[in-house]
Structure 1
């Protein structure tokens, strides 16, 4: 039998999705499963996007330009200008989700064996994208007890080697909800310029900032035209995860030119997704205000209820719609599987993402889970009550 590739064996399984078989088995038993494991909002997709798909009048669904439909890209330029990011149509590419934008950034900016410094915990698929492109992830360790704040920049700078080619942040952060201040971004900018690095920034959650906190894009920082790369997506902003439409944005012409060669090899991003995403740019501001207010309420409710459970602690996230919680268990991976396979309360259970999958530092996140507050407060309340009862019954409670 031929061997599987080393790349394939090294590719990590998703901590977000690998417990799906246990959730499916629970559902087959008639148990209600509350999905707190994945960032799939229950928020309604904007009417303008749904209408664009219903009213589609095309004789042929054809390939688009490899960089995306031109009318969509032109409207994106106007959209970005409205949030303080001034670019032209040649400085962005439409991609197959934010996922492809990250892969294209890695493929265009780093060679196999190069290093990218990433604050930890980080979105688990970053490691998957890095593994598939031969890039080494170097973690900057942050801690739940400090709200996942960055360590001193002198400590981060110690991680820079001759192989370091980029810093990669997620702002606001998935899985922690951490939001970078302007001062922190300016410090990162100094480090990037000093060591001639790229600064990659995943900003797909920028609309989800709370307590009057301000989101600052790396594209707003002066002096980074050749260094800054922004990753974007419609998935969370418009509750359109299934469209698979993302964006790669940079003023560095060589990155766009290089990424275009990879993009041409995959032909084009999804045409139907682009049509709906283009229509979504007409979404009224009232939609975002309502969505932000809803997530704000959910966050406050979830954090308060979690911290009332004996032995549980979670900091207050400033953005996105996730929080990382520390549980009084011996092993969060075992607990997340157990609560699906061996436990139910009032014929219901909870699916969470073990946080160990968001770390690559051995031993980190062993007692932590990522919880997505993408359910309405009534369902969140039932889910947290079920979690509390599960913790009481779990044989590995500590």
Structure 2
């Protein structure tokens, strides 16, 4: 049987494709510390579970396609704390941030169009684009620059007749970069001058460290008609399994068009929406504690990485990821080696090769993304194991190269 070109062209997830190696290691009795995926171990606020347990109805009905009124109202209150004021018909509830991204691509782009995206980027931007025949048009950023944006001229040089928008995450996944107000304003200027959408993935909004100021695209009045904010409860409230996302835009016509897609998939799960209403009632003190915890974890992992000669990495200032350039030729080979060949006292570490976070061929081959989502004790162990494994791997490769030269 023949499969569609759309599905065969779609990449496998670089975050999950090496899972069989981890499973094989575990089958040998090896404990694997997972730094490869953004699954926090922070406790989900209890209100979510209480709301689901207390649900009392004889029939579990379809919810309305745009999202239950209680959750829409909770979102309005949440955004108001950031001085972003949305009306009810400017918000949609989606099946996770993933559906929010996919529906926004479908509503703003035609097959053959492209979106400007700073690379490295959340790898599913590429996967979702391939689903609807929209390509990622990469704006390359570098580890040495903390993955901040290049000049306006360089960005504009990437725009062509098929470019419909700029898609970016802030704070960044996988880089942890937090864009400055000047960078936000630069993107706004480019969007106005070139009539482009701005698709702002802001699911890590709360995770900003070192006293940095955070600027949302929702606070830039000049572009409010072309800004689409993608959001989610997954990382904000450590509720990844709830699969509740949202779309916010002051462009009512765009929201009305995306609503057609929401109607086509009927609705988002009712119980998860009810639970998420309570998540949005979580007190601000929750974020203060979680923010401090992630900042501490970042420092533990970053400090261990910096002990290895040849590692290039600027300390990230947001989200809970680090992208590091390693002194290796192929990071994927190193990740597999850590799972198959290396352990310390029966323990090893799994990280994520970063090549799949780039659209430009060849970039990221020597980089990895690490998620600092483990508790301090486990993270310190994982960081130490990773450091020792990397040092041994580099030494082994040097010996192999030396033997080859001598031969």
Query: Residue 292 of structure 1: CA displacement?
Result: 0.4
Q: Deviations over 1:259-295 (max 9, x none)?
A: 1111111110121211111111121111111100100
Displacement after TM superposition at 1:186 (Å): 0.9
Distance 2:388 2:181 in 1: 42
Residue segments in structure 1 that go unaligned for 5+ positions in a row: none
* Structure 1 residue 344: Cα displacement: 1.4
Measured in 2, the distance between the counterparts of 1:252 and 1:191 equals: 19
- Equivalents in 1 of 2:137, 2:311: separation in Å? 29
Alignment pair present for 1:261 and 2:244: no
Rounded to whole Å, the distance in 1 between the matches of 2:140 and 2:168 is 13
- 1:332 corresponding residue in structure 2: 331
Please say if residues 208 and 292 of structure 1, whose CA atoms lie closer than 8 Å, have aligned partners that are also in contact. Answer: yes
- Which residue pairs with 1:88 in the alignment? 87
**Counterpart for residue 189 of structure 2:** 190
8 Å CA contact retained: 2:74, 2:281: no
| TM-score with structure 2 setting the length | 0.95
Give distance in 1, aligned partners of 2:387 and 2:182: 39
Give RMSD over aligned pairs: 1.2
Aligned to 1:71: 70
Q: Counterparts of 1:211 and 1:20 in 2: how far apart (Å)?
A: 34
| Whole-angstrom CA distance in 1 between matches of 2:185 and 2:290 | 30
> What is the CA-CA distance between 1:225 and the residue it aligns to?
2.6
**Counterpart in the other structure of 1:392:** 391
Please state if 1:235 is matched with 2:234.
yes
**Corresponding residue number in structure 2 for 1:34:** 33
Equivalent residues of 2:121, 2:358 under 8 A apart: yes
Per the TM alignment, residue 172 of structure 1 is displaced from its structure 2 partner at its CA by 0.2
Report the equivalent of 2:150: 151
The corresponding residue for 2:375 is 376
Shift in Å at residue 388 of structure 1?
1.9
Question: Deviation per CA, 1:341-360, whole angstroms, max 9, x where unpaired?
Answer: 22211101111110001001
For residue 85 of structure 1, give the secondary structure of its aligned residue in structure 2.
Answer: coil
Asked whether the equivalents of residues 308 and 391 of structure 2 are also in contact (C-alpha less than 8 Å), the reply is no
Distance 2:391 2:220 in 1: 49
Q: CA deviation at 1:393?
A: 3.0
Partner SS state of residue 235, structure 1: coil
Which residue matches 1:222?
A: 221
- In structure 2, what is the equivalent of residue 109 of structure 1? 108
1: CA distance, partners of 2:108 / 2:45: 35
- Determine the structure 1 residue equivalent to 2:19: 20
TM-score, normalization by structure 1: 0.98
Distance 1:199 1:212, change over 3 A: same
2: distance between equivalents of 1:286 and 1:149? 30
- 8 Å CA contact 1:330–1:396 kept in 2: the answer is no
User: What secondary structure does 1:223 align onto?
Assistant: helix
- Please give the secondary structure, in 1, of the residue aligned with 2:222: coil
Worse-matched range after superposition: 97-106 or 75-84: 75-84
Matches within 5 A, 1:39-54: 39-54=38-53
Distance 1:58 1:212 in 2: 46
| Number of positions where the alignment pairs a residue of Structure 1 with one of Structure 2 | 397
2:95 and 2:244 in contact (8 A); partners too: yes
CA contact (8 A) 2:102 2:128 kept: yes
Residue deviations 1:313-338 (CA, integer Å, cap 9, x gap): 32111100001011122200111112
Q: Please say if residues 209 and 318 of structure 1, whose CA atoms lie closer than 8 Å, have aligned partners that are also in contact.
A: yes
Which residue matches 2:322?
323
Q: Indicate the SS of the match to 2:262.
A: helix
- Structure 2: segments with no counterpart, 5+ residues: 402-407
Describe the superposition over 1:152-201 as per-residue Cα deviations: whole angstroms up to 9, x where unpaired.
Answer: 11110011111111011100000000111111111111110111110110
Paired position in structure 1 for 2:306? 307
Indicate yes or no: 2:165 matched with 1:169.
no
Alpha carbons 2:120, 2:175 under 8 Å: kept: yes
Once the 2 structures are TM-superposed, how far is the Cα of residue 221 of structure 1 from its aligned partner?
Answer: 0.3
